[in-house]
Amino acid sequence: MSATAELAGAQPAATPVGRRPRLLVRSLRTPGGAVGAGLSLLLVAAGLLAPLLAPTDPFAVDGPPLTAPSGAYPFGTDALGRDLLSGVIYGARTSLIVAASVAAMVIVIGTTVGLWAGYFGGWVDDALMRITELFQVLPRFFMALVVIAFFGPGLDRLVLLLGVTSWPLLARVIRVEVLALRHREFVEAARVHGASRTRILLREILPNALPPGIALLGLVVAQVILIEASLGFLGLGDPNVTSWGTLASEAQRFLRVAWWLSLFPGLAILLAVLGLNLLGDAVTDALTGRR
């Protein structure tokens, strides 16, 4: 910076004053954010790479029943001699499938409803928000029980149900953001240049409205994982896949003789939910200090 502020016409091309780290970098810098991101990444890696990581097929009888954790069976084996480590890794896959599919549905429905309600306002807003409230008051867990009671257990119907009922929070957050953004000067600038409604919504408003929604999504997904595990624990999980909830449920009978059967699936649930919550919180914190 030169000593005197030159008057216009004379000054050279000005360069930016500094570079602020991007949102993701800022949220990962906090201890909570780093741990949260690490745990979430672990969940995703375990889920995606389950066939490579797991020593055996989770349903395959692999050794002596109820073996305590050891070098050959790090997490021990269950009553049928199945390797628990493989079970927990494949359980991550189940959790990931449910979490990712529900998250995708929540993003699509929640963002669309939030954008429309916030941008158009008036009766569109009223109608959409009443519908949102309707879905928000549905007891998700009992709905899940009812659906499984009618149609039998299965991941597909569970994902569908949770996806259709988990979006209201996201829609509300996005709507509020859009309400605050739609009269901001940069949106008006786009309007002055003749930008179409689609461009304004997708290019100008959405990228600014989405981050708080994404932060919230971590929390929504953590709940979804809990619900899936809870259903498994009640014996209502999909019998064709391994789930942490199912593992924990089966472990109950051996609580006194095989502590590892309860500990490892429980720990997996705890860490996955904790990780997603920490990550969501860290992103929220980074966003709050954004301006």
Partner 1 sequence: MRAAGATPLLSVRDLVVEFHARSGVVRAVDGIDLDVHPGETLGVVGESGSGKTVSMLAAVGLLPAAPYCTVRGQVLLNGRDLLTLSTRDLRALRGREIGMIFQDPMTSLHPSFRVVDQVAEALLVHDSALADRQARTRALELLERVGVARPDRRVRDYPHQWSGGMRQRAMIAIAIANDPPLLIADEPTTALDVTIQAQILDVLRRARDELGAAAVLITHDLGVVAELADRVSVLQSGRVVESATVEEVFAAPRHPHTITLLDALPRLDRPLAERRPVAEAPPVLEVEDVAVHYANPGGGVVRAVDGVSLSLLPGETLGLVGESGCGKSTLARTIVRLVDPQAGRVRFGGRDITRARGRALRGVRRALAMVFQDPYASLNPRMTVGEIVAAPLRIAGCYRSSGGRRRVAELLDMVRLDPASADRLPSDFSGGQRQRVGIARALALSPRVLVLDEPVSSLDVSIQAQVVGLLDQLQRELGLTYLFISHDLSLVRQISDRVAVMYLGKIVELGTREQVYERPTHPYTQSLLAAVPSPHPERRSSRTLLVGEVADPTDPPSGCRFRTRCAKAAPECAEEVPALVVREGSDHPSACHFASTAPPGSPAGTSGSTPDAG
- Which positions touch partner 1 (CB under 8 A)? 1, 3-9, 11-20, 29, 184-186, 188-196, 199, 203-204, 207-208, 290-291
Closer CB to partner 1, residue 14 or residue 52? Answer: 14
Tell me the C-alpha distance between 246 and 29, whole Å: 36
Minimum distance from residue 192 beta carbon to partner 1 (Å) = 5
Minimal distance, residue 118 CB to partner 1, in Å = 17
Q: Does residue 56 contact residue 85 with C-beta atoms inside 8 Å?
A: no
- The least distance separating partner 1 from the CB of residue 28, rounded to whole angstroms, comes to 13
Query: Residue 256 or residue 291: which is nearer to partner 1 going by CB?
Result: 291
Q: Least CB distance from residue 265 to partner 1, whole Å? A: 40
What is the amino acid identity at position 81? G
> In whole angstroms, how close is the CB of 203 to partner 1 at the nearest point?
8
Dihedral (CA of 27, 29, 32, 35) sign: positive
**Shortest CB 206 distance to partner 1, Å:** 9
Of 211 and 265, the one with the shorter C-beta distance to partner 1 is 211
Residues 261, 251 contacting (CB under 8 angstroms)? yes
The answer for residues whose C-beta is within 8 angstroms of residue 106's C-beta and 6 or more apart is 163, 166, 167, 170, 217, 220
- 3/52 with CB nearer partner 1: 3
Of the pair 142, 185, the CB lying nearest partner 1 is at: 185
In which residue are the tokens 């073996």 written? 67
Q: Angle formed by the axes of helices 168-181 and 122-136, to 10°?
A: 150
Rounded distance between C-alpha atoms, residue 153 and residue 229, angstroms: 13
Comparing CB distances to partner 1, the nearer of 34 and 195 is 195
Residue 74 makes CB contacts below 8 A (sequence gap 6+) with 85
Q: Is the CB of residue 228 less than 8 Å from the CB of residue 214?
A: no
